[in-house]
Amino acid sequence: MALAGRGARGWGQGLASPGTATAAGSRAVCGRRFLLCLYLVGFLDLFGVSMVVPLLNLHVKSLGASPIVAGVVGSSYGILQLFSSTFVGCWSDVVGRRSSLLVCILFSALGYLLLGVSTNVFLFILARIPVGIFKHTLSISRALLSDLVAEKERPQVLGQFNTASGVGFILGPMVGGYLTELDGGFYLTALICCSVFLLNAGLVWLLPWRETKLKDKDGTENGRSMSQKHASVLGKSDCAPHEATTPPAVGKPERAPQKPWVEVVSALGDMKSLIFSAMWDIFLVRLLMAVAVMLYYSNFVLALEERFGVRPKTTGYLISYSSALGALAGFAVGPILRLYKHSSHMVLLHSSVLTCMLLLLYSTAGTMTMVVFSSTLLSFSTNIGRTCITDLQLSVGGAQASGTVIGMGQSVTAMGRIIAPLLSGVAQEVSPCGPPSLGTVLALVAIFIMSLNKPHSAGDGSEKRKSE
């Protein structure tokens, strides 16, 4: 694993002394341990969340909320995520990963604590606010991973992180379903989720930050002035990959540090032109593919019951099976990218084509065998595509603002969570196969956009790799 790329690259040149080689090996071990700890953070995060999320609708209705109120409360989370993802990601670029990660985990724990004592609709809504604003721990963890590894290793590491998180998402509902059968089961589940987040906060606090040298050369924590980052690009950490670094401007005085919120606004202004000129196609593809996949899942249980008479319990087993395969797909990202010579754009294009074909196959399937077959491959293609589009965002957007770029991607996904239920409701009026059929059309549009913008989207990453 190419951790602490800048230092490791320097040590690999010429004749290294035994002491230097030992130091390099020690840093590699520490870096690997740091990655494993981050994988555990991702696992615990989704394990805790997935214990509670499937029970939210049942609980809010048990508090006396009407279906309309329950729907509004459910949508509020996506709306808060839509507006907060980019700001929190940018804020993590400014104040540093460690501080922002701890704050997000602790506020999320507060939200689930409030949920664990919510005995009326008002407390339930109040509990969703801190979670909607600050539940960006996975995004910040991905940004931190992009800081630590070289560009070629990034998709593989992100895929493994997604696998660890996915395992948590598989196990969480099982534990939550068991606990909810007990007296006051929902409240117990929410409080356990809060405890899991507190455990995660302790883990982040105890991570070996110093050993992985997540600090600038002058000893300050990663996250110095954003204006300085855009000037010297990667002052973020000593572990930044060599490919992502550029020499600081000579003879230009550094600007004085400003208040964090001023730096966040300034950084977002700097990123505006990049997002709307160089990355619009990537974010549009992400939105279209996200909505397409969400349309597939939106009425999955109902559609199988209407089309094939499959009971919800059996459908639940099928969903768990698909989720497990999707989690394992993270291990395949590295070998697939090596096969494609590290072209994330081509992997994303081909995985999107496969997703489109499988959505069409599912929409027209006449037997449950074809449904199981399409679901099996869909879990694989969608997880590969999700990892590759994140890597593509970072390649084009630049590592100097990885938190902002990943946060913007999460905002786009949150927008999809708002749009998909509306489109699904309209399409379902036509046919149970309406939502996935509409998803097929949206995936086709995404493939068309990727085909037209291939050189532009993949340019930065491919140029870097050619220069190596």
pLDDT confidence of residue 464: 42
Q: Would the pLDDT of 402 be above 50?
A: yes
Q: Would the pLDDT of 310 be above 90?
A: no
- Alpha carbon distances (Å) from 243 to 153, 223, 237, 338, 460: 12, 20, 14, 18, 11
pLDDT confidence of residue 264: 62
- Mean of the pLDDT values across residues 336-365? 93
pLDDT confidence of residue 223: 41
Whole-number average pLDDT of the chain: 78
Sign of the torsion angle spanned by Cα atoms 123, 126, 132, 137 = negative
Architecture of domain 31-208: Up-down Bundle (1.20)
pLDDT tens digits, one per residue of 109-125: 999 999 999 888 899 99
- As beta bridge partners, residue 221 has 215
Name the pLDDT band for 214 (thresholds 50, 70, 90): very low
pLDDT confidence of residue 239: 41
Which residue type sits at 181? E
Asked if 28 and 3 count as a contact pair (C-beta separation under 8 A), the reply is yes
pTM of the model: 0.73
pLDDT confidence of residue 400: 61
Name the pLDDT band for 11 (thresholds 50, 70, 90): very low
pLDDT confidence of residue 150: 85
Closest to 100 measured CA to CA, from 201, 170, 21, 250: 201
Measured in residues, the chain has a length of: 468
Closest to 308 measured CA to CA, from 223, 355, 372: 372
Asked if 138 and 204 count as a contact pair (C-beta separation under 8 A), the reply is no
- Average the pLDDT over each of 84-98, 241-255, 285-299 and give the range with the smallest value: 241-255
pLDDT confidence of residue 200: 95
Q: Look at the domain 260-460 and name its fold.
A: Growth Hormone; Chain: A; (1.20.1250)
- Please list the residue range(s) of the chain that carry CATH number 1.20.1250.20: 31-208, 260-460
Q: Would the pLDDT of 238 be above 50?
A: no
The more confident residue out of 29 and 74 is 74
Name the pLDDT band for 16 (thresholds 50, 70, 90): very low
Angle, helices 402-430 vs 260-277, to 10°: value is: 60
